Amino acid sequence: MPSRIPSDWPDVIMVTDAESLAQALEIWKAAGVIGVDTEANSFFAYHERLCLMQVSTDSQDWIVDPFALGDDMQIMAPMLSDPEIIKIFHAAEFDLMLIKKDMNVDVKGMFDTQVAMTFLRHQKTGLAALIESYYGIKLSKDEQRSNWGKRPLSDKQIAYARIDTHFLVDVYNKLVPELEEQNMTGAAYGEFDRQMREILIPAESNPDRYLKMKGAKQLNPSQLAKLKALFLWREAAASKKDVPPFKIMSNPGILGIAELAPRTTKDLAEIKGVGWKIAKRNGDKIFDLLGSVKDDVIEMKANTVSKEERRARQIRRDNTDALKAWRTATASELDLPSERLMHRRQLEEIAHALPQSSEELNRVVQLNDWQREQFEASLLSTLESLPQP
């Protein structure tokens, strides 16, 4: 954030009760166009949650506190889902997911300034770059990983949070005519529709995620069994304390324990990523875990895939690579980032289904008018050339 908030800015309004939220909603609805952002406690909690929502009109900033409001946050739901009220986000994907997860609301009427900027071929599209470029305000990174779940909020946190939305309405007013001038309105709004339609689902806890840890592939079955037990213990402890797993123990720590199977507190403490504090606090539990694990718990699956299935898998991988190459080449021709043509998830769905006609393609993914005009024919031509698995 800047060294100080400019003196001509009005005081930010803190929304901490149903009455003040209802009053704010009337102003937001009358404005018709508002900037919106959210903050979560991703780096400080196991159970990530919506900690803050910032809202701005062209003349005022609000900070909405979900902790203070509780269930009264739902008063916002009709406004957030009203397509006639324009909600301006910057890089909206995470915000849409968080609002859906914690409020069960599908945001409608969304405009994403970062998406618009990429279609307008801006070289830098981050919010800090945008604010510095348009308004000459250089943002500090001090609060980027702030603990938004902690109360009370500091003055620095409040200042940082309000700036995230303070300029969004003005930026929107600049970007809309630029999109029109460059014939990119359809492209941008088509992507907004996809974002609102394909809201991300929060990743579920995967008990087999330990297999993807760096170094896990080098462990033998006995060591993998120990790693699994340690991983599950760490997940349960992190969930109970509501802290990120790394605050219980680092990945190198549990990997080292699984590999070396220490028998004394001294040996445990000397493992990289453990140390004396963790060894003394959790040593008894760790030794119990190691002693209870059977060597034959984890057996790496033998490669019993048939020759035909291996060939089919290779064809699918090759087809996906061919479609990625098509997307890269087409994006280069249009002078756009690859992800603006088609999202990675959509490309993977197409690679799996291999549609051969416009009708089949649009049953797999919903292309917008701009996509159909710019590259549907080229995509279908590429698909026709790919072998079936």
Q: How confident is the model at residue 4 (pLDDT cuts 50, 70, 90)?
A: low
* Cβ-based neighbours of 303, under 8 Å, separated by 6 or more: none
Q: Report helix, strand or coil for 206.
A: coil
What pLDDT was estimated at residue 304?
A: 62
List, for residues 341-374, the tens digit of each pLDDT value: 999 889 999 998 999 999 999 999 999 999 999 9
What pLDDT was estimated at residue 295?
A: 54
List, for residues 256-276, the tens digit of each pLDDT value: 999 999 999 999 999 999 999
Q: What is the 3-state secondary structure (H, E, C) of 78-120?
A: HHHCCCCCEEEECCCHHHHHHHHHHHCCCCCCEEEHHHHHHHC
Domains and CATH numbers, the chain: 13-197 (3.30.420.10), 209-292 (1.10.150.80), 307-384 (1.10.150.80)
List, for residues 73-91, the tens digit of each pLDDT value: 999 999 999 999 999 999 9
When mean pLDDT is compared over 17-26, 149-158, 380-389, the highest value belongs to: 17-26
What single-letter amino acid sits at 109? G
CA distance 306 to 311: 9
List, for residues 154-211, the tens digit of each pLDDT value: 999 999 999 999 999 999 999 999 999 999 999 999 999 999 999 988 777 778 889 9
The number of beta carbons lying within 10 Å of the beta carbon of residue 378 is: 13
pLDDT above 50 (res 146): yes
What pLDDT was estimated at residue 336?
A: 94
Phi, psi of 168 (to 5 degrees): -65, -35
∠ CA 289-290-295 to the nearest 5 degrees? 120
Q: How confident is the model at residue 1 (pLDDT cuts 50, 70, 90)?
A: very low
* Mean of all residue pLDDT scores within the chain: 92
By the 10 Å C-beta count (0-12 exposed, 13-18 middle, 19+ buried), 387 is classed as exposed
Average pLDDT over residues 34-43: 96
List, for residues 209-242, the tens digit of each pLDDT value: 899 899 999 999 999 999 999 999 999 999 999 9
What pLDDT was estimated at residue 207?
A: 81
How far CA 265 is from CA of 59, 222, 379, in Å, comes to: 61, 21, 61
Half-sphere exposure of 33 (CA within 13 A, CB side): 13
pTM for the model stands at: 0.87
β-bridge pairing 86-89 and 33-40: parallel
Contacts of range 334-343, beta carbons closer than 8 Å, 24 or more positions apart: 334/374, 335/121, 336/118, 336/119, 336/121, 337/118, 340/115, 340/118, 340/119, 340/187, 340/191, 341/371, 341/374, 341/375, 342/371, 343/194, 343/198
By the 10 Å C-beta count (0-12 exposed, 13-18 middle, 19+ buried), 254 is classed as buried
211, 255 Cβ separation under 8 angstroms: no
Tokens of 351: 């690679």
Tell me which DSSP letter residue 219 carries: S
List, for residues 280-338, the tens digit of each pLDDT value: 999 999 999 999 887 545 444 444 678 888 888 898 899 999 999 999 999 999 999 99
What pLDDT was estimated at residue 303?
A: 46
Lowest mean pLDDT among 120-124, 128-132, 147-151, 376-380: 128-132
Average pLDDT over residues 7-24: 95
